[in-house]
Amino acid sequence: MVEIKRKSAMDSSLRRQTQFQVGDRVETCNHCIGTVVRVDQDEIGVFVVAQLDIIPGEFAYDPWDLEKI
């Protein structure tokens, strides 16, 4: 029996989740620009709360839906 190692995929996913910090400028998957307000975690996983420049309010995103700019 061959053991499948998925450590590198998990490591890259963890790095992606923790790469955001409060104050970071980000672009969403639909090309809106905003600022990270907080990074939080619930029972499902890590999420990033961002305040967008064009829409008032705060919105929660999965880390893989945002890109640092």
The chain-wide mean pLDDT, for the chain, equals 83
Residues 38-67 have pLDDT tens digits of 999 989 899 999 999 999 999 999 999 999
pTM of the model: 0.71
Exposed / middle / buried, residue 8 (Cβ in 10 Å: 0-12, 13-18, 19+): exposed
pLDDT above 90 for 7: no
Residue 19: band (very low, low, confident or very high) from pLDDT cuts 50, 70, 90: confident
Q: From CA 59, how far away is CA 9, in angstroms rounded? A: 27
Residue 8 confidence class, pLDDT cut points 50, 70, 90: very low
Joined together, the tokens standing for residue 26 give: 């980000």
Structural domains present in the chain:
7-68 (2.30.30.30)
- Region of residue 42 (left: phi > 0; alpha: psi -120 to 50; beta: else): beta
> What confidence score (pLDDT) does residue 51 get?
97
